Amino acid sequence: MNPVLDGLTALLDPTVLFGMAVGIGLGMLVGAFPGITATMAVALASGFTLTMSPVQGLAVLLSIYTGANFGDRIPAILVNTPGTPAAISTTFDGYPLAKQGKAGLALVISGFAAAIGILLSMVVFSVAAVPIASFALNFGPYEFFALVVLGLTVMISISSKSLIKGIIAGLFGLFLATIGHDPITADPRFTFGLDVLSDKLDFIAVVIGLFGIAEIFDQMLSHTKLRLKPVASLGRWWPNKKEYKSMGKPLIIGSVIGTVVGIVPAAGGDIAGLIGWDRAKALSKHPEKYGNGSFEGLVAADSASTSTLGGALTTTMALGIPGDSVNAVMLGSMLIWGLQPGPQLFATQPALVASIAGIMVISTIVSLGLNLFRIRGLVKILDLPRNYLWASVLILCVIGTYATTNDINTVVVMLCAGAVGVLMKRTGFPAGPVVLGLLLGPLAESNLRRALVIDGPGGFVTNPIALVLLVFAILAFVGTLYSRIRARQKEMAAAHALAEAPAEPAATTTRSEGK
Amino acid sequence: MKLRRNKQEGSAATAAGPSGRPESDGATHTPSLTEGISVEELALVEEMEREVAALQAKPSRKLEVAIALSLVALCVLGIIGSRLIAVRTETGGIDPRWWPTVMCGVALALSLLLTVIAFTRPPFDREDLEVTNRGGWVRLAWTIVLSALYIVAWTLTGNFVIPSVILLAALMWVYDGRGWKALVIYPIVTVAGIYLLFHTLLKVPL
């Protein structure tokens, strides 16, 4: 039978459909709840799905991934608080629109933009993944090491205010990956005679600690009685002809940018949304409206952030390098199921790849349907008492981690990772590069050592693919450094100009007066 | 465009208006009220924005210096630990000690650079974080202590159910949960649900 048909037929299994329904519901809930990210939810769900078959498990995980990309826009528009980082750019125009009484319209437009973004990117996944995987079959140690360097460089460049802190976080992840046995000689390293460390740090435990426990700990530290008040007046829901027409251009700009950013290893929806919004503004006839309640801005931001999903899946499945942090967690789960994402996956499991595409498309359409059911009620989730949330997440993190190994020591690793994670969060060190370093560390080390033994460092120059990847990594790093220096100079110049300007009455930031 | 890096979702700080806008003129100006939102509601929403903005964490030079110096110490420890790795066959050069030593060496150099920056440059802004409070530290300390005791109890008794119910009740007490719903019903129902899902359905031996 045709592998594509095989893969799609597998989705008709009632347990898979049930898994998707649960995943979409969970995804929308966690997306709408600020403080629980898709990464955290997928990490937690991995503990539940390890005993399932790969298709059943992926149905749950991918549906959470998709659902969260719809749910996170609701608090972004109604409360100006992004449910996940991918919705940061949604707040730029979504919230001003809500303040103008157009929240309903913003929610509907945002839903359509998000759905179209994902579906277009899945077309790219379907078309590009196989050729990329076939190309990557030729990769040797030099190419794989260069690919890891590129992924880490991009992640470091985009994930932290301080490049130095980002690099240190990446190095920390690579160092953590050395715990266990040496990948070439099998000598024990940093195991201290403990069984729990002898077979490397449990990846899922570390991810749950860094993304789940650390987030909850941070909320405990800073929790106040302040209640977020969503905008209650929603206005009309459906766009008129003129509004529909104005969305075409930003939709195309956002989707193209999002898909390209998604393909770049480790770059996710947050960065794509920001770039998409910025580029659409630069190319708009009405850039002055951006940031003040522009439908174009909303469409560009949402289509860009969600169209990373297909690109990120392409990189993850075709190259084995996670396209974003959610894919990093899924990659860990797939390894536990005995699947090795990468070029070989397409040769050995073509039906599974079709199933993945099918799950993404179905969950996107269902999520859009739910989004259009005027689910403003989801914002009520903001009123959920934090004490119940903290206790529930803590116990679920413990059990989810325990389920991966049936070893209580893994739970200790998870809690330690949580403590380290909250420390990192409070001190400005991003968790993303740590996870990527931990995941890719063995690949980087073993390939680099093999490459150096085979042909020495000169091999990087004689292997054109490796050379190109390394040049891209250098360009990404230097480009980020340059743009940050320029931004800092601009800020200093603006501050200087402000200091020299004659004193004026203080500008109010709101318009509460005179009403 | 000023990109906001490392923005953590869900913090109330993210709800602050002015800093949440790229190239914003420092305002959350709303051009019109043409479609339905009332002046009273707008005032309420903007009051919330101001309250949330007041919760943003402040930059701290002391914190940056402490982080940088701690990192230097950790990296030195890492290098020493890497050199002490016992290797069965000494080959020299690119052996199992090489990679962790390189990682720690590079991290040490960057930590020293971070130290210099911490002393000489303005500290990084922390606008994506909220300020901590004393009650928060107490909650966190109790959570860690209770979690540690829970793991010890689970390990010693080999029983998942009773320590879990006690843990949830104790956590709810620490988190200001009061009454029989929070302290009795919630822990029992949650643990029963987890047991049913993991032990019975997913066959995880609890």
Q: Which residues contact A437 (CB under 8 A, 6 or more apart)?
A: A152, A169, A170, A171, A172, A173, A174, A175, A176, A177
Is B144's pLDDT higher than 80? yes
**A50 near A62, Cβ under 8 Å?**
no
Question: B168: how many CB neighbours lie within 10 A of its CB?
Answer: 27
Q: Give a yes or no: residue A98 inside a domain.
A: yes
Is A379's pLDDT higher than 70? no
Q: Which residues contact A130 (CB under 8 A, 6 or more apart)?
A: A318, A346
Q: Give a yes or no: residue A181 inside a domain.
A: yes
* Residue A200 touches partner B, C-beta closer than 8 Å: no
A186 beta partners? none
- The pLDDT, as a whole number, for residue B17 is 38
Range among A95-104, A443-452, B64-73 rated most confident = B64-73
- The pLDDT, as a whole number, for residue B198 is 78
- The pLDDT, as a whole number, for residue B33 is 47
Q: Give a yes or no: residue A512 inside a domain.
A: no
DSSP string, A336-375: HTT---SHHHHHH-HHHHHHHHHHHHHHHHHHHHHHHTTG
CA distance A468 to A465: 5
Q: Give a yes or no: residue A506 inside a domain.
A: no
- The pLDDT, as a whole number, for residue A510 is 35
Task: Tell which residue, A163, A189, A186, has the closest CA to residue A176.
Answer: A189
Task: Tell which residue, B168, B201, B151, has the closest CA to residue A395.
Answer: B168
Place of tokens 């898909």: A259
Place of tokens 């024990």: A188
Where do the structural domains in chain B lie, given as residue ranges?
12-53, 61-120, 134-201
How would you label A330-348 residue by residue, b for 16+ Cβ within 10 Å and e otherwise?
Answer: bbbbbebbebebbbebbee
Of A293, A403, A427, the CB nearest to B204: A403
Task: Tell which residue, A183, A179, A155, has the closest CA to residue A169.
Answer: A155
CA distance B26 to B28: 7
How far A347 CA lies from chain B's nearest CA (Å)? 31
For chain A, the 3-state helix, strand and coil shares in percent, each to the nearest 5, are 75, 0, 25
**A344 near A352, Cβ under 8 Å?**
no
Residues A220, B136: C-beta atoms closer than 8 Å: yes
Task: Tell which residue, B54, B42, B60, has the closest CA to residue B15.
Answer: B54
DSSP structural state of residue A188 = E
Task: Tell which residue, B67, B47, B175, has the closest CA to residue B119.
Answer: B67
- The pLDDT, as a whole number, for residue B31 is 44
- The pLDDT, as a whole number, for residue A35 is 65
Q: Which residues contact B76 (CB under 8 A, 6 or more apart)?
A: B108
* Residue A225 touches partner B, C-beta closer than 8 Å: no
pLDDT (tens digit, 9 = 90+) per residue, A48-98? 787 788 899 999 999 999 998 888 888 888 877 777 878 888 888 888 888
Residues A215, B10: C-beta atoms closer than 8 Å: yes
**B14 near A82, Cβ under 8 Å?**
yes
**Binding-face residues of A in 40-59 toward B, CB within 8 A:** 48, 51
Side chain identity at residue A373, one-letter code: F
Is A435's pLDDT higher than 50? yes
Range among A133-137, A237-241, B62-66 rated most confident = B62-66
Share of chain A above pLDDT 90, in %: 15
pLDDT (tens digit, 9 = 90+) per residue, B95-121? 889 999 999 999 999 999 999 999 988
Return left, alpha or beta for A179; rule: phi > 0 is left, psi -120 to 50 is alpha, else beta: beta
Is A326's pLDDT higher than 70? yes
**A45 near A64, Cβ under 8 Å?**
yes
pLDDT (tens digit, 9 = 90+) per residue, A250-304? 999 999 988 888 887 766 777 788 888 888 888 888 888 888 888 899 999 999 9
Question: B153: how many CB neighbours lie within 10 A of its CB?
Answer: 17
* Residue A426 touches partner B, C-beta closer than 8 Å: yes
Return left, alpha or beta for A226; rule: phi > 0 is left, psi -120 to 50 is alpha, else beta: beta
Q: Which residues contact A468 (CB under 8 A, 6 or more apart)?
A: none
- On chain A, the residues whose CB falls within 8 A of the CB of B26 are 507, 509
**Binding-face residues of A in 432-471 toward B, CB within 8 A:** 445, 448-449, 452-453
Question: B122: how many CB neighbours lie within 10 A of its CB?
Answer: 9
Task: Tell which residue, A136, A53, A140, A162, has the closest CA to residue A346.
Answer: A136
Helix spans in A264-324 (H): 269-282, 295-306, 308-319
How far A509 CA lies from chain B's nearest CA (Å)? 4
A376 versus A237: which is more confidently predicted?
A: A237
How far A515 CA lies from chain B's nearest CA (Å)? 7
Residues B17, A224: C-beta atoms closer than 8 Å: no
CA A6 to chain centre: 29
Give me the domain span that covers residue A281: 3-496
Q: Give a yes or no: residue A424 inside a domain.
A: yes
Beta strands in A96-212 (DSSP E): 180-181, 188-189
Least trusted range by pLDDT, from A299-303, B38-42, B172-176: B38-42
The average confidence (pLDDT) of chain B is 79
DSSP structural state of residue A189 = E
Number of domains in chain A: 1
**A215 near A208, Cβ under 8 Å?**
no
**B151 near B165, Cβ under 8 Å?**
no
Confidence of residue A158 (pLDDT cuts 50, 70, 90): low
Of A81, A231, A385, the CB nearest to B14: A81
Q: Which residues contact A358 (CB under 8 A, 6 or more apart)?
A: A7, A8, A11
Say if residue B13 is exposed, middle or buried (CB neighbours under 10 Å; 0-12, 13-18, 19+).
buried
pLDDT (tens digit, 9 = 90+) per residue, A421-431? 999 988 889 88
**A72 near A110, Cβ under 8 Å?**
no
Q: Give a yes or no: residue A435 inside a domain.
A: yes
Integer-rounded Cα Rg, in Å, for chain B is 25
Say if residue A79 is exposed, middle or buried (CB neighbours under 10 Å; 0-12, 13-18, 19+).
buried
**CA-to-CA separations, A101 to A75, A231, A299, A459, in angstroms, rounded:** 15, 8, 18, 61
Is B30's pLDDT higher than 70? no
- The pLDDT, as a whole number, for residue B14 is 42
Confidence of residue A228 (pLDDT cuts 50, 70, 90): low
**A196 near A473, Cβ under 8 Å?**
no
DSSP string, A377-418: GGGGGGGS-HHHHHHHHHHHHHHHHHHHHS-HHHHHHHHHHH
- On chain A, the residues whose CB falls within 8 A of the CB of B20 are 80, 91-92, 95
Say if residue A289 is exposed, middle or buried (CB neighbours under 10 Å; 0-12, 13-18, 19+).
middle
Q: How many CB pairs under 8 A join A and B?
A: 311
CA distance A218 to A214: 6
**What mean pLDDT do residues B174-179 have?**
90
**B108 near B69, Cβ under 8 Å?**
no
**CA-to-CA separations, B22 to A163, A306, B115, in angstroms, rounded:** 20, 20, 30
Q: Give a yes or no: residue A235 inside a domain.
A: yes
Q: Give a yes or no: residue A124 inside a domain.
A: yes
**What mean pLDDT do residues A232-253 have?**
82
